Amino acid sequence: MRIAFFGDVVGKAGRTVLADELAGLRKRLSLDFVIVNAENAAGGFGITAKTAEELFDAGADVLTLGNHSFDQSEALGLVERDSRILRPCNYPEGTAPGRGSGLYDLPDGRRVLVMNVLLRLFMESLDDPFRRVSEELDSAPLGAVADAIVVDAHGEATSEKSALGVYCDGRASLVVGTHTHIPTADARILPGGTGYQTDAGMCGDYDSVIGMDKEEPVSRFVTHMRSSRFSAASGPATACGTFLETDDSTGLARRIEPIRIGGVLAGHEPSVS
Amino acid sequence: MRIAFFGDVVGKAGRTVLADELAGLRKRLSLDFVIVNAENAAGGFGITAKTAEELFDAGADVLTLGNHSFDQSEALGLVERDSRILRPCNYPEGTAPGRGSGLYDLPDGRRVLVMNVLLRLFMESLDDPFRRVSEELDSAPLGAVADAIVVDAHGEATSEKSALGVYCDGRASLVVGTHTHIPTADARILPGGTGYQTDAGMCGDYDSVIGMDKEEPVSRFVTHMRSSRFSAASGPATACGTFLETDDSTGLARRIEPIRIGGVLAGHEPSVS
Amino acid sequence: MRIAFFGDVVGKAGRTVLADELAGLRKRLSLDFVIVNAENAAGGFGITAKTAEELFDAGADVLTLGNHSFDQSEALGLVERDSRILRPCNYPEGTAPGRGSGLYDLPDGRRVLVMNVLLRLFMESLDDPFRRVSEELDSAPLGAVADAIVVDAHGEATSEKSALGVYCDGRASLVVGTHTHIPTADARILPGGTGYQTDAGMCGDYDSVIGMDKEEPVSRFVTHMRSSRFSAASGPATACGTFLETDDSTGLARRIEPIRIGGVLAGHEPSVS
Amino acid sequence: MRIAFFGDVVGKAGRTVLADELAGLRKRLSLDFVIVNAENAAGGFGITAKTAEELFDAGADVLTLGNHSFDQSEALGLVERDSRILRPCNYPEGTAPGRGSGLYDLPDGRRVLVMNVLLRLFMESLDDPFRRVSEELDSAPLGAVADAIVVDAHGEATSEKSALGVYCDGRASLVVGTHTHIPTADARILPGGTGYQTDAGMCGDYDSVIGMDKEEPVSRFVTHMRSSRFSAASGPATACGTFLETDDSTGLARRIEPIRIGGVLAGHEPSVS
Ligand SMILES: [Fe+2]
Ligand SMILES: [Fe+2]
Ligand SMILES: [Fe+2]
Ligand SMILES: [Fe+2]
Ligand SMILES: [Fe+2]
Ligand SMILES: [Fe+2]
Ligand SMILES: [Fe+2]
Ligand SMILES: [Fe+2]
């Protein structure tokens, strides 16, 4: 199976690069399934029905979220109604609306389990991400129930993301980080067969401070005062993500490569024959 | 000028990959100057006279440190004696021994200003890194006093590193992050001419949790109990860093590319004619 | 000199208890000077011209602030115009409007130096609070220039507040903490003669979660979701603070006692003959 | 029932004040049950068999711990063997040795449920403290199974402790905080009948920085360098705690008062007829 995962879409610039590029990519990479982290899709803060629709129209099959899941109040209803949008799976039971994971059917009958999890180092503490992910992995074992499993590890610290990758090694097809908005150059297959990349990077304008217009963030670091609101940078965006090819007999990773298309970053597109 | 910067050397594996590869790289890339972050050189924690010597022997011109600078008590004397070893420049005046920056002469008379700075988000708070770096940049203006300026931004948060890059844009040759131990794929030249990469990545064994044997870190995340000490992973290491070519007339960046050699990461070596 | 310091005034309940009680207290305790931390005076978030006026009318001589100083945008002008309102003194130079300290004249000619400082553990990092406070103390030495010196240490961690008290011992009349909204029972005179209390407590309704209506804070801890905004609790408030009597020949503390008047906490009023 | 709870015992000074005072207090206050937080009993760091024995000999019925539970490796066996020593109840199931709660029989047949819980704000994240405490409270309902219930809320932030108090109101006899080492002056009975005090304070020498010799902590805040190890302050200690009298028909609080005996703090002993 061929899967692409794209990191945090930031504002209109991020949505636009996917609208422009995703259809072509789906063809060129023969993608079976596309997952997009959309926690910053709406002007940099959360998701709305309209921005979700844009991303589905662009070619996303499933959207994941993170610590900004509910920045926009309409997301509360959205995640209830649309089972293709996932908020972190480790909210305490009975609290957040919506779902933290989903098992999705491909047209050909193969099934992909996707989950979104919020890590805890330097972040708000939801339930134990390691245990919750383990329970989710057990609910649809790779190669038995799920043909592929993708874990979106939304977190700050490289140590925690890396440990989660190791912890899931052999039980998931892909553990990929989000939240830092900067792609890492460590995509690889772990010894047990799980594809891993510490952060997918954002889909957004990198001529910015992690997707936001540069002036205000720099000013806040220097002065510790607010001058204005943060606004999503609007220059040409880079679509950053991860390409994964799994072995359909096991669900494990056969190949992993970063994707970087457009904008100011050095581009990279896997070449698929 | 051609400069290579290598991220946090972790233990013997990290020292070994530089001992094996750096001499060849210096030649192939016609490097004028090599900087290595060595805060984890001694078994993963700090630096000793012996490990520093190994890195100088391998071909480093200057070593930088970080939050682990003084994990080994012999580092207190080492940074006093050896002006090629830099601890963060934003310790309060009159506290830490040693230096936070240095202006180094190349054999041909060109001069490189190097500084190490500890950022503050999710870290211990030293003095304002933005102001301190600004003062250092003013002390040896790029293109006037210094032919090249390299800022090692040792920090956790991508936002703060990114903001520091923007803040220094046009006044430094290179702002490169360290500390997360994972290389980022965002090396680029900022609009004002400063080369930037959010994190250089570590020189260490990536079949690990950020350079440490996998078992104990995973166990601590899962159980919140200590089973044993952390020990540096000892498999084949990847030397991760950044290659920078500056324009000698301005000191600004002309070209920036990541370096990844050896170990389990996908390799990348700039091709220089 | 007899001084009273009151901790974080939270909303209307906090302003009301001071309006009701402060005039009487000034008389009963023969107070020469009254300082009130007002960072939450306006509905729990920041300060406005109107709420500042209420507190001055109630009998405050000087108002201090904290991490909520500029929650209300009109505070930006207010601290510029009114030298009796102090924001933290350790904003980087040239950033925040207003002042971080002031030397105030009593009608009888005695002078009181007051400063507000933001600590750093678990908080946003302004400049080094220890060094800044030391510089302020040097600017108007106790017993020489200032007849009394009060340091409002706005911070989260008891270790940092306690260390600042020790650090200032002998050079200030009073180091008193604010920010946690809970009064501590450790008022005492340190060996060098400085009065110290880790936190003055708030002036607010304690039948609450640190001054806010109980329901929403509890709900957020339990669900990690927002149901509504925080609103300041409106029941009868306790005025919490510290009473200090100094020796006019040295400026050091001769007597320190907590003040707790009104509301649901066990009351305490120093008895002064 | 009459219960006394004492906060974090710090080193020999803390153990000594309890050895000297607890027997007398048990008599004067007609105490039925005494709980002591002992996470810093062994030289400031953790607990050993010997220091536990000293505290039991002094008159403690149950010892609680906190984030320092396992600083001393012998604590691993100790909490397994001795059911009177409780570590936080919100370690993930199957990880830490020992117990997080216990139901203890008084000689007269009444039973006391005691639990220790680690909060999460600014601390390492164990499992959800609110849910775990709720489960514990349900396991031995107050007034039905347990004649009294005491919750030791080991945490940093006043907001989280206060919210836990509100959350348990009516279901526990006492929610009392530990960890900050500074007693709060907010002991009161919440509207639902639960006794509450944000922090019991430490049993230790207050002429210190939260129980440690002053010099090193201050030096670290000022210089960000280590000069020596932390060592527990050895001057006369204050035994800080909370006195609670419950209504045996409901298990709810009838009276709550702070206890402060010895050392440099202003003393307070409830007067019981
Ligand atoms: Fe994001
Ligand atoms: Fe995020
Ligand atoms: Fe490092
Ligand atoms: Fe580091
Ligand atoms: Fe406050
Ligand atoms: Fe505050
Ligand atoms: Fe403690
Ligand atoms: Fe503790």
Label the pairing between strands A239-246 and A2-6.
antiparallel
Label the pairing between strands C195-197 and C188-189.
antiparallel
The 10s digit of each residue's pLDDT in C41-84 is: 999 999 999 999 999 999 999 999 999 999 999 999 999 999 99
- Give the three-class secondary structure for B92: coil
**How confident is the model over A80-94, as a mean pLDDT?**
98
Environment class of C94 (CB within 10 Å of its CB; exposed 0-12, middle 13-18, buried 19+): exposed
**Is A80 annotated to bind ligand?**
no
Q: Which CATH architecture has domain C2-261?
A: 4-Layer Sandwich (3.60)
Q: Nearest by CB to A166, which of B209, B257, B268?
A: B209
Cβ of C183 under 8 Å from any chain D Cβ?
Answer: yes
Chain B: nearest CA to C91, how far in angstroms?
A: 10
Cβ of D89 under 8 Å from any chain B Cβ?
Answer: no
CB atoms within 10 A of CB B140: 18
List chain B domain ranges.
2-261
Helix axes D215-223, C158-168, angle to 10 degrees: 100
Chain A: nearest CA to C161, how far in angstroms?
A: 21
Q: Nearest by CB to B266, which of A131, A187, A199?
A: A187
**How confident is the model over B23-38, as a mean pLDDT?**
98
| Cβ-defined contact of A91 to C224 (cutoff 8 Å) | yes
Q: Give residue D91's identity as a one-letter amino acid code.
A: Y
- Give the three-class secondary structure for D237: coil
Indicate the pTM of the whole model.
Answer: 0.98
CA of C177 to the centre of ligand 6 (A): 10
Evaluate whether ipTM surpasses 0.90: yes
Confidence of residue A273 (pLDDT cuts 50, 70, 90): confident
Give the residues across from C152 on adjacent strands: C116, C176
Q: Which residue of B has its CA nearest to C91?
A: B128
| Cβ-defined contact of B158 to A122 (cutoff 8 Å) | no
- Give the three-class secondary structure for D251: coil
**Residue D68 annotated to the active site:** yes
Instruction: Give pLDDT, residue C66.
Output: 98
Chain B: nearest CA to D87, how far in angstroms?
A: 12
- Under 8 Å between Cβ of A184 and A198: yes
Give the span between the Cα atoms of A115 and C260, in whole angstroms: 52
Instruction: Give pLDDT, residue C14.
Output: 98
Q: Starting from the CA of residue A122, give the closest ligand.
A: 2
Give the span between the Cα atoms of A256 and A253, in whole angstroms: 7
Instruction: Give pLDDT, residue C273.
Output: 78
Confidence of residue D273 (pLDDT cuts 50, 70, 90): confident
CA of A39 to the centre of ligand 2 (A): 7
Question: What residues of chain A lie within 8 A of the CB of B221, using their CB?
Answer: 130, 160, 163-164, 167
The 10s digit of each residue's pLDDT in A153-184 is: 999 999 999 999 999 999 999 999 999 999 99
**Is A90 annotated to bind ligand?**
no
- pLDDT of D260 higher than 80: yes
Give the span between the Cα atoms of D200 and D184, in whole angstroms: 7
Give the span between the Cα atoms of D129 and A127, in whole angstroms: 10
Distances (CA, A) of D84 to D101, D106, D136, D190, D243: 9, 13, 17, 28, 20
Environment class of D229 (CB within 10 Å of its CB; exposed 0-12, middle 13-18, buried 19+): exposed
Question: What residues of chain B lie within 8 A of the CB of C92, using their CB?
Answer: 128, 131
CA of C178 to the centre of ligand 5 (A): 7
Could you say which DSSP state residue C236 is in?
Answer: P
Cβ of A94 under 8 Å from any chain D Cβ?
Answer: no
**How confident is the model over C240-259, as a mean pLDDT?**
98
In degrees rounded to 5, what are phi and psi of residue D146?
-100, 135
In degrees rounded to 5, what are phi and psi of residue C129?
-70, -30
Give the span between the Cα atoms of B252 and B244, in whole angstroms: 10
Give the span between the Cα atoms of C198 and C234, in whole angstroms: 26
The 10s digit of each residue's pLDDT in D30-68 is: 999 999 999 999 999 999 999 999 999 999 999 999 999
CB atoms within 10 A of CB A62: 25
**How confident is the model over A58-73, as a mean pLDDT?**
98
CA of D256 to the centre of ligand 6 (A): 28
**Residues in contact with C149: Cβ distance below 8 Å, sequence separation at least 6, in sequence order:** C112, C113, C114, C115, C137, C140, C142, C171, C172, C173, C174, C251
Question: What residues of chain A lie within 8 A of the CB of D120, using their CB?
Answer: 125
| Cβ-defined contact of B92 to C127 (cutoff 8 Å) | no
Q: Nearest by CB to A218, which of B157, B166, B181?
A: B166
Question: What residues of chain C lie within 8 A of the CB of A92, using their CB?
Answer: 222-224
Cβ of D163 under 8 Å from any chain C Cβ?
Answer: yes
**Residues in contact with B50: Cβ distance below 8 Å, sequence separation at least 6, in sequence order:** none
Environment class of C55 (CB within 10 Å of its CB; exposed 0-12, middle 13-18, buried 19+): buried
